[in-house]
Amino acid sequence: MHSRLDRSVIAEPYHYPHDASFGPATSAIVVIDMQRDFCEVGGYFDCQGYDVEDARSLIPTIQALLSAARRAGFPVFFTREGMEQHTKHQSLARK
């Protein structure tokens, strides 16, 4: 990405049809929004009365996937959604 405001990524798409290769040179593991607020007892979801056990049950599987991916040389990326206090009630389109 060039800057926070640009939000573009320079990329060269694969030729179609793709050869379906799968490996560290063509693929990555991306973990999206796996935050304590969603999974931890005492986190935001738990305090709002949501059952976090389903989310917590995924943690060992995700850890095993990440470990195997790293051993195989796959790049691993984490991303999360974060909101400032004054924008938390706005739709994502307005942020």
Residue ranges per structural domain of the chain: 19-81
Mean pLDDT (whole number) for 58-79 = 95
Here the tokens at position 67 are 């470990």
| Confidence (pLDDT) at 76 | 95
pLDDT range class, residue 1, cuts 50, 70, 90 = very low
Q: Does pLDDT of 94 surpass 60? A: no
Say if residues 44 and 37 touch (Cβ distance below 8 Å): yes
Angle at 92 between CA 46 and CA 11, to 5 degrees: 110
Distance CA 41, CA 6 (A): 37
Which segments of the chain does DSSP mark as H helices, in order? 36-39, 44-47, 53-57, 59-71
Q: What is the DSSP letter of 77?
A: E
